[in-house]
Structure 1
């Protein structure tokens, strides 16, 4: 039975209305975004609650929307510990980072690095940020389109093109104001969709809601992981420390977040936006993890649906291996592969399968709109923040230092279109090529991993100067590169490889940069 038969006319109407509304928001703010200040900072006049909802919507990408349920379905609630670290990072951002950004008023998050350590520091952070966002846009659109192409019965390339072009258009015409208000709408759609799906599943268990908890408890599905001292496994403590560092990087130095702090009409509203965006993710992510647990219980009581998912996963695996349905013996290979598909391999496919086949008419459309909302929010944010940095950190800094308002806006518009097209193109390339992206993420993780440590060094130490900062970053990048690459080098003796869990790579990289910078600056005499 084909999945697209479950996407009815009512579902298409809901999805179409969502797209029309989103595009309408973009065009509504066109007149207010025709200046650099309006396009990049919304004239610094937005309420904190809208910016907070935008932060939340940006945080919860389509990867999270589909991935979080997949993690708890295939495993347990250990990844939820990442969410538990958000309040810590939020408090640090409110206490130390927010006052600085509001005081300076700089739109670029990386202007601080230039003030402290020179041009190289700003360019280093800005360069790897915009390249990382380019890859992120491609990944988000590709991973969003992958299940939706099956659910909607449409070609994956068409879905990527529609999403990429739509986001580029409303980001181009509406600027950051349109993105923030669209994000606020998308946040509501995300939450309503998630709660509706969870409620439907909970009350459709054969023996009632309690059956979910019985099955989950019997299979240790609510476990937060080991509380032991191991640094080689994803224990509670490893995930918690990793979460603090990554969330501090998000809330403290990520350009897309900083623009929302600047767009808020005053410091009080900006503080409200951080707390709302951070703390809202905590319960909503719990809902998504609970959906995964519910899915596990639901499919345990409906083994026929579980078998359908196994065949879906097996078919996708064979197609990726260039085994066509027209090949001789395809059915036998499919049957054999389906029997070997594990619960963890089914993780990301179960939620889309449930959305397409089990939800009532209308709710399916709402959930599909929510997945689109999550993707569009993330992509539009990456697009606007990248265009802002290209204009402020590169065009106005090196190409045209005395640019007029009109020239600066032309640079922003050009960067928006260019990065939108490149992001969409990246997603289209991923349809057939994924290994290149894996290599890029490895390199991006190495070279971009030093940004938080550099920021912290600049904020904490008054003695650290440019040479000390550069030396500290180099040492940190060496540690990050060693921890990242040594496990992958087969010829390297086992005792020379890093056996620490990969979550600890950004933790140790940040620590090395910060600690080495503090120590060097302590023993190096300042110039008289």
Structure 2
């Protein structure tokens, strides 16, 4: 990187921190910290929802996947309109009526404290691992591009996000998210255009090479559950995106920042739908990279992994200035996701674990101390996890997998509580246990059922379907358990 690119990147980083921190003057109460006093513009919330969905992982992984295979992963995006419509129809009105900054207050009212505790603990563990993983991968990518120390990149990035997230609260998070979302889209558009018009024989060569290698394929349409067919990815995407837009604190909290239910619905819909064309843009970049290096043999080292091709092009294929812009775009994607995790986790900790009396004159000051402390501790732990991943990735990946297994029961529990009004706490517990067992069996089969003797007991299904089967099991077992328990009580009462 030359001086101009480094300057653009540093100016971007400092600009985000200064801009986000400037909201400190508007961030004097717990309500402003968590929901922005319910007066944030709709377009800003929409861009924030979009930017939260696009992490630096997807910014680099989607082009890498399209470079390596085809557009099968785009089927995941095709499920988003269905998920956002469900969120608009059912979940946004629900959370606005509950009127709590925490998405998990509803579960406490529905099933009792255990449900709120279970879901919120799983959420916090998931967010810690997510923030740490994104910090690590972000630093790894920038290290490849610049040669800077991974540890230094992790610490500087983590502290930068912490400063403006802590000082500016949710207002800083959503406004910086909106700016970062615009930057990452602009960076991707510029990169796609340069690739398309850099083909030796013109843009037409891009399509001829891509078609020849079946790069636009959406996958097999076979009705099987053992591979990532079109239908498997579509069903998986529907469940994951309903979980994201329907029960994830990162998104629910944004619905609460809108001025009205109508504006919250608009934000959920627009923020979700924006990801569909942008994900297509990322896949286009991956295919363009494939055609570009196919048409220009020798430019790309033969042993370059698929997920490193885009960073290689950023450094070696872009003109001066644009390299700095693209690195800023990658950082924008990562920082927006991490800042969301910091603020949302602090909000969950305050609302789900501290009961402050409204009659206490100092309750808001105490709330702000809790929010500041939680943001600080979460940020430090995320940095520590990211640094630990440099040397102990296997242990942390195991923790990540276990946290994902246990958090897999969240969606089923919400759906059970919302659509089965007669199901009570005991039946819900039985349902969650059944679902988590199924998710664990499907997720851990590749690790533990490898010998010939145990192979017949391994899951034959694609790993994408674990959340599908797990969520379905929670709902069905919980519903049937509720029917059985209610009948038993009724029979006992009649005897």
TM-score range (shorter-chain normalised) is over 0.9
| 1:120-519 correspondence to structure 2 within 5 Å | 120-307=114-301, 310=303, 313=304, 346-396=305-355, 404-489=363-448, 490-491=450-451, 492-519=453-480
8 Å CA contact retained: 2:218, 2:230: yes
2:23 matches 1:26: no
2:47 matches 1:53: yes
Deviation at 1:20, TM superposition (A): 2.4
Give the Cα–Cα distance (whole angstroms) in 2 for the partners of residues 285 and 486 of structure 1.
31
1:463-499 CA-partner distances (Å, limit 9, x unpaired)? 1000010011011111111112233223452221111
8 Å CA contact retained: 2:62, 2:286: yes
Deviation at 1:403, TM superposition (A): 6.9
Deviation at 1:520, TM superposition (A): 2.2
Give the Cα–Cα distance (whole angstroms) in 2 for the partners of residues 54 and 355 of structure 1.
25
Deviation at 1:402, TM superposition (A): 9.7
8 Å CA contact retained: 2:21, 2:165: no
1:56-107 CA-partner distances (Å, limit 9, x unpaired)? 0010000010000000000100011000100000000000000011112111
For the residue of structure 2 that corresponds to 1:525, the secondary structure is helix
Give the Cα–Cα distance (whole angstroms) in 2 for the partners of residues 389 and 438 of structure 1.
24
Give the Cα–Cα distance (whole angstroms) in 1 for the partners of residues 202 and 406 of structure 2.
51
Deviation at 1:401, TM superposition (A): 10
8 Å CA contact retained: 2:431, 2:477: yes
Deviation at 1:395, TM superposition (A): 2.6
Give the Cα–Cα distance (whole angstroms) in 2 for the partners of residues 151 and 487 of structure 1.
34
For the residue of structure 1 that corresponds to 2:218, the secondary structure is coil
Per the alignment, residue 493 of structure 2 pairs with: none
Give the Cα–Cα distance (whole angstroms) in 1 for the partners of residues 21 and 439 of structure 2.
44
8 Å CA contact retained: 1:23, 1:170: yes
Per the alignment, residue 38 of structure 1 pairs with: 32
1:288-335 CA-partner distances (Å, limit 9, x unpaired)? 00000000001112221222x62xx4xxxxxxxxxxxxxxxxxxxxxx
Per the alignment, residue 97 of structure 1 pairs with: 91
Deviation at 1:525, TM superposition (A): 2.1
1:444-464 CA-partner distances (Å, limit 9, x unpaired)? 121111000000000001110
List structure 1 segments (4+ residues) > 3 angstroms apart after TM superposition.
Answer: 400-403
Q: What's the TM-score once normalised by structure 2's chain length?
A: 0.96
8 Å CA contact retained: 2:63, 2:284: yes
Give the Cα–Cα distance (whole angstroms) in 2 for the partners of residues 122 and 25 of structure 1.
35
Q: 1:495 to 1:406 in 2, by over 3 A?
A: same
1:478-527 CA-partner distances (Å, limit 9, x unpaired)? 11111122332234522211110000000000000011122222333265
Give the Cα–Cα distance (whole angstroms) in 1 for the partners of residues 240 and 201 of structure 2.
41
Give the Cα–Cα distance (whole angstroms) in 2 for the partners of residues 127 and 32 of structure 1.
30
Deviation at 1:379, TM superposition (A): 0.4
Q: What's the TM-score once normalised by structure 1's chain length?
A: 0.90
Which ranges in structure 2 are unaligned for 5 or more consecutive residues?
A: 491-495
1:19-49 CA-partner distances (Å, limit 9, x unpaired)? 2221122222102112100001001111111
2:86 matches 1:83: no
For the residue of structure 1 that corresponds to 2:220, the secondary structure is coil
Deviation at 1:397, TM superposition (A): 7.4
Give the count of matched residue pairs: 486
Is the deviation greater in 150-159 or in 185-194? Answer: 150-159
Which ranges in structure 1 are unaligned for 5 or more consecutive residues?
A: 1-6, 314-345
Is the deviation greater in 350-359 or in 383-392? Answer: 383-392
8 Å CA contact retained: 2:430, 2:481: no
Per the alignment, residue 12 of structure 1 pairs with: 6
Is the deviation greater in 60-69 or in 493-502? Answer: 493-502
